[in-house]
Amino acid sequence: MEKLLAKVKQRIESLAVELEHLYNDHPDAVIGEITIKNILGGMRGMKSLVCNTSFVDPYKGLFISNLEIPDFEDKTPEEIFFLLVTGSLPDEAELAELKTELSKRSQVPEYVWTTLKSAPKTIHPMTLFSMGIMAMEGDSVFKQKYDEGIPKDDYWKYTLEDSLNLIAKLPALAAGIYRILFMNGEVIESSESELDLASTLTYRLGFNRHNPSFADLNRLYLVLHCDHEGGNVSAFTSRVVNSALSNIYLAASAGLNGLAGPLHGLANQVCLKFITNIHDEYGNRPSVDQVREFVMRTLDEGKVIPGYGHAVLRVTDPRFTSFMKFGDQHCSDSPYLQTVKKLFEVVPDILKTYKGGKVANPWPNVDAISGSLLYHYGMTHYEFYTVMFGISRVLGFCAQNTIARGLHQPIIRPKSVTNSWLKNYLEPHPVS
Ligand code: CMX
Q: Which residues are catalytic?
A: 264, 310, 367
Contact 360 CB / ligand 1 (< 6 Å) = yes
Among protein residues, the one with the nearest Cα to ligand 1's atom 1 is 304
> To the nearest whole number, what is the mean pLDDT of the chain?
96
pLDDT range class, residue 256, cuts 50, 70, 90: very high
Under DSSP, the state recorded for 382 is: G
Report the separation in Å between the CA atom of 363 and the middle of ligand 1, taken as the mean of its atom positions: 11
Contact 234 CB / ligand 1 (< 6 Å) = no
Which residues are within 8 A (CB) of 45 and not within 5 positions of it... i.e. 6 or more apart?
38
Q: What mean pLDDT comes out for the span 385-405?
A: 98
The pLDDT of residue 155: 98
End-to-end CA gap in the chain: 70
What proportion of the chain, given as a percentage, has pLDDT over 70? 98
Contact 363 CB / ligand 1 (< 6 Å) = no
pLDDT digits (tens, 9 = 90+) for 65-106: 999 999 999 999 999 999 999 999 999 999 999 999 999 999
The pLDDT of residue 430: 66
Report the separation in Å between the CA atom of 309 and the middle of ligand 1, taken as the mean of its atom positions: 5
Q: What is the CA radius of gyration of the chain?
A: 22
> Phi-psi region for residue 413, left (φ > 0), alpha (ψ -120 to 50) or beta?
beta
Which residues are within 8 A (CB) of 25 and not within 5 positions of it... i.e. 6 or more apart?
none
pLDDT range class, residue 432, cuts 50, 70, 90: low
The pLDDT of residue 319: 98
Domains of the chain are 267-376 (1.10.230.10)
Q: What mean pLDDT comes out for the span 224-246?
A: 98
pLDDT digits (tens, 9 = 90+) for 310-333: 999 999 999 999 999 999 999 999
pLDDT digits (tens, 9 = 90+) for 172-214: 999 999 999 999 888 998 766 568 999 999 999 998 888 999 9
CA distance 279 to 6: 53
Is a pLDDT exceeding 80 seen at residue 264?
A: yes
CA distance 221 to 77: 9
Is a pLDDT exceeding 80 seen at residue 15?
A: yes
The pLDDT of residue 186: 87
From 46, 229, 304, 355, the mutation candidate for ligand 1 (largest count of ligand atoms within 8 A of CB) is 304
